[in-house]
């Protein structure tokens, strides 16, 4: 049984969430709390496996409480709030702090919304949550000049925190980098802006026709779209409408396959934390084309699903801890290390 603590200032919403979770035979609601101070005591007394957490609450807001949880007692947290639908900055802040997922608070008649809470809680229970690393980002050492490689990165659950850790370790003139992170359409532009504020390179949401140039990082737009690369003398982003591939749009497999097809041996594919198998076949295509491939190791993944699937089919050349992936990308894309 997965033991759940429901934290929400609304007694009605606590009852609705509890009722929805209690229907699932794998879930047991062991307690409820109306504010973070009560929740703190409940965590100590009940030792839940997962917490559902509201954002707007008395005494302390949910984001501040989440920061304390991740610093003092890391555990899987699913944010459930009206703010997570319209307040993308709030959602991204929660994911950056280590929340496993953020979902919109359902209305009382939204049966599908409440069913989704149960699925997200079960997924969160399988996540590996680590204490946040508050150490400063190490400065890039040594000379760097980009070679002719193109970097493609794919991620899902836990990817917001992982990408922030990885991208901020890249140099200002990094190799052209394209990213597909499973994320709603309303999130991706804000996420790109958030990455841009924390790293030396320029990060933007990819637009159709954007040229791939050094010092630029392109994030796939969310929603029913896919990011690919195309071109010969000048590589460009290609953003197209499309049905889900490997269960997702945007799809990591679609991005990786286009990189393998277009760049071949000059490609570097990196697969990060996430649930499912999206990206495994595409990463294998990159390796088969002669490109380098890296995978995040199990110990540092929030969910070791996508990297595991890729590793099991021989798509991953090397598995590395998250904090070593940035330096590895730097070395593989550095013209200076080839001399």
Spell 279-290 as b/e; 16+ CB within 10 A means b.
Answer: bbbbbbbbbebe
Catalytic, out of 54, 182, 246, 297: 182
Residue 32: strand, helix, or coil: strand
Q: Active site includes 278?
A: yes
Distance CA 106, CA 124 (A): 18
Half-sphere exposure of 258 (CA within 13 A, CB side): 24
Residue the block writes with tokens 């929805």 = 20
Distance CA 73, CA 130 (A): 9
SS3 content of the chain, % helix, strand, coil (to 5): 40, 25, 40
Q: Active site includes 182?
A: yes
Q: Is the peptide bond before 225 cis (omega within 30 degrees of 0)?
A: no
Q: Do residues 154 and 296 make contact, with C-beta atoms less than 8 angstroms apart?
A: no
Half-sphere exposure of 90 (CA within 13 A, CB side): 20
Catalytic, out of 49, 210, 253, 278: 278
Catalytic, out of 91, 156, 246, 249: 156
Q: What does residue 80 show for φ and ψ, rounded to 5 degrees?
A: -130, 110
Q: What does residue 76 show for φ and ψ, rounded to 5 degrees?
A: -65, 130
Catalytic residue ranges: 156, 182, 278
């Amino acid at each position: 049984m997965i033991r759940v603590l429901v934290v929400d200032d609304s007694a009605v919403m606590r009852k609705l969430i509890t009722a929805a979770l209690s229907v699932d035979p794998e879930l047991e609601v062991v307690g409820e709390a109306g504010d973070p101070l009560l929740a703190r005591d409940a965590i100590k007394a009940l030792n839940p496996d997962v917490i559902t957490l509201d954002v707007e609450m008395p005494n302390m807001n949910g984001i501040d409480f989440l920061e304390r949880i991740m610093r003092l007692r890391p555990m899987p947290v699913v944010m459930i709030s009206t703010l997570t639908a319209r307040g993308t900055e709030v959602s991204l802040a929660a994911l950056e702090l280590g929340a496993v997922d953020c979902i919109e608070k359902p209305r009382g008649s939204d049966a599908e919304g409440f069913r989704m809470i149960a699925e997200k809680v079960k997924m969160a229970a399988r996540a590996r949550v680590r204490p946040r690393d508050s150490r400063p980002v190490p400065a890039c050492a040594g000379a760097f000049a980009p070679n002719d490689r193109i970097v493609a990165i794919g991620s899902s659950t836990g990817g917001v925190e992982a990408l922030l850790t990885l991208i901020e370790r890249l140099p200002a003139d990094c190799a052209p980098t394209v990213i597909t992170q499973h994320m709603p359409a309303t999130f991706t532009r804000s996420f790109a802006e958030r990455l841009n504020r924390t790293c030396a390179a320029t990060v933007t949401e990819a637009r159709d026709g954007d040229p791939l140039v050094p010092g630029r990082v392109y994030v796939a737009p969310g929603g029913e779209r896919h990011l690919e690369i195309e071109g010969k003398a000048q590589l460009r982003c290609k953003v197209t409408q499309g049905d889900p591939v490997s269960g997702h749009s945007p799809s990591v497999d679609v991005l990786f396959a286009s990189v393998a097809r277009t760049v071949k041996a000059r490609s570097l594919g990196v697969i990060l934390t996430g649930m499912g198998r999206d990206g495994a076949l595409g990463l294998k295509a990159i390796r088969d084309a002669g490109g380098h491939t890296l995978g995040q190791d199990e110990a540092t993944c929030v969910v070791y699903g996508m990297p595991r699937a890729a590793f099991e089919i021989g798509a991953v050349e090397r598995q590395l801890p998250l904090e070593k992936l940035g330096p590895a990308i730097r070395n593989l894309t550095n013209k200076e290390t080839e001399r």
